[in-house]
Structure 1
């Protein structure tokens, strides 16, 4: 069932499908280009668990892409709001990045 935002802008569904497909294929340069040209893409949740493209890039440890997406987001007036978008577990992309760092530290200490 489409969300209220999807009903207000049917193009959001096509952006969502396209971003999800590109992220899944690892075509991150294309995702960055969409972020550069379409502010709506910044807020679109791509997965059932509510992840945005930035959530997914962080989860995939794509630091180069994370930086580019954050640059695109930060260039807009409501960039802070976008960076604070939570997924279904209540995690922002920063939460995910921090947890991955903690996991990496734990792995190093355990070795």
Structure 2
């Protein structure tokens, strides 16, 4: 009985702790929601350490929220408040409750400029950490350095996969150039359901993205999802995909390319 009571007390204390933490962050969260960016910037200028403090129960930091809002200028300002390379690496790779980094949030919005900013910062941090002469197999050593483009969320999605899933072709193309040729395969499928990057683009009816994927990575046409359908077969089972003049031209081209590339 005593043990149960102690557990209940610990749970209540945790709820109270989280409540107090969220109350402290209520201002920044509201400023972000109402696009009061100048007020938000003043707050973090006075409290730079709070940049890495979660604002929501989903563990979103202000970086996640601003990234999803697509505000490259505000992201640049917030990042400028972080001076130390290790802390900046932490900021770039911090994950929320879904395992999304700020780059995952950028991928959902398709903001190319913000995506280039984040990847560029990551490349800079990697160089800076290398210059610190840290142990190569240590927590921050170059050998163990994981780039932001490689991080998967809890669904097993990389930022490249996520950009394609939302139909942001320009950002997907850019992220693909930041992935090594030998590593690109890791971005073609998510872990949770094994859905390929081409299938997810077709499911979302993002035909421009699907066409680019099919042209650039021709073997994707042969892949089958869990029900045994290729992307072409999946497309044929989607009546809504055949509505509208623009879509019609896109899916016709996709069908043609899928047929061509899947021929023996």
Q: Which TM class, normalised by the smaller chain length?
A: 0.7 to 0.9
Q: How does 1:22-37 map to 2 (within 5 A)?
A: 22-37=31-46
Aligned length: 104
Deviation per residue, 1:4-52 (Å, 9 max, x gap): xx8xxx7x55541211121122111222222222133112211221111
Q: Which residue of 2 aligns with 1:16?
A: 25
Displacement after TM superposition at 1:66 (Å): 1.6
Q: Which residue of 2 aligns with 1:79?
A: 88
Checking the alignment, whether the CA contact within 8 Å between 1:34 and 1:41 is kept in structure 2 is no
Change in Cα spacing, 1:88 to 1:13, as seen in structure 2 (3 Å) is closer
Structure 1 portions without partners, runs of 5+: none
Checking the alignment, whether the CA contact within 8 Å between 2:59 and 2:97 is kept in structure 1 is yes
205, 208, 215: which one aligns with 1:109: 208
Checking the alignment, whether the CA contact within 8 Å between 2:44 and 2:51 is kept in structure 1 is yes
Checking the alignment, whether the CA contact within 8 Å between 2:68 and 2:108 is kept in structure 1 is no
Displacement after TM superposition at 1:108 (Å): 8.0
50, 53, 58: which one aligns with 2:59: 50
Task: Specify the SS of the correspondent of 1:36.
Answer: helix
21, 36, 39: which one aligns with 2:48: 39
The 2-side partners of 1:24 and 1:14 are apart by 15
Structure 2 portions without partners, runs of 5+: 1-14, 111-162, 170-200, 210-245, 247-264
Task: Specify the SS of the correspondent of 1:47.
Answer: coil
Q: Which residue of 2 aligns with 1:89?
A: 98
Task: Specify the SS of the correspondent of 2:79.
Answer: helix
Aligned-residue Cα RMSD (Å) equals 2.6
TM-score w.r.t. the length of structure 1 is 0.73
